Amino acid sequence: MAEVIAVLSRKGGVGKTLTTMYAASLLAGRGQDVAVLDKDPEGSAGAWARAAGNLPFPVYPEGKQAQALKHAVVIVDTPPNDPKALGDAARLARRVVVVAKCNALEADRLIPTLDALAASGFAGQWGILLTQARGGLGREMKAALEEEDLPVYGIIPHLIKFERAFGTLPDDLDEYAEALKAVLA
């Protein structure tokens, strides 16, 4: 049975697809049999794969879930604003990455995602990945979340390379390798 990692957030534009594609690239680079399952009706991961041309891992649309689950590891990219899809992905997963953009508003927006995760009945390993961090805000937000006993996997800085990554094979993976080491071990 596949090891499933779900990438979740009720908020759009926080970096779920970016995180999914970087995580898949990291695992493929380690020689693992990995696939992406694109549960977003907008098909962001699928569009990324088509633009890239030749990724070292397949990207399956939601209708091909059974095929995706034949791989050793499946990373699920989820849509925003769909608690049902978020719950379905969490129930499928053994590990969950909750993605949150690094600013005060996004910290407040974490609550609906965490509520949906709890309502799903998910009982596996989970943590928050803070993205698009500028200056010391990432460290401050991480400390504030951990003070509330919320697990934080890591911090992804705001870098132009991430803004330009769509449609490419991610190859500069250091920040994601460090931030997701507990998830992808």
Which pLDDT tens digits describe the chain residue by residue (185 residues)?
A: 899 999 999 988 999 999 999 999 999 999 999 999 999 999 999 999 999 999 999 999 999 999 999 999 999 999 998 999 999 999 999 999 999 999 877 777 788 899 999 999 999 999 999 999 998 999 999 999 999 999 999 999 999 999 999 999 998 999 999 999 999 98
Q: Taking the alpha carbons of 34, 40, 41, 44 in that order, is the dihedral positive or negative?
A: negative
Q: What is the pLDDT of residue 141?
A: 92
Task: Indicate the pTM of the whole model.
Answer: 0.95
Mapped onto helix, strand or coil, the DSSP state of residue 165 is coil
Note the helical H segments in the chain.
Answer: 16-29, 44-52, 65-68, 83-92, 104-119, 137-147, 160-163, 174-179, 181-184
Residue partners of 166: CB distance under 8 A and separation at least 6:
18, 48, 51
Cβ atoms 62, 38 nearer than 8 A: yes
Q: What is the pLDDT of residue 69?
A: 97
Side-chain half-sphere of 183: how many Cα atoms within 13 Å? 33
Q: What is the pLDDT of residue 108?
A: 75
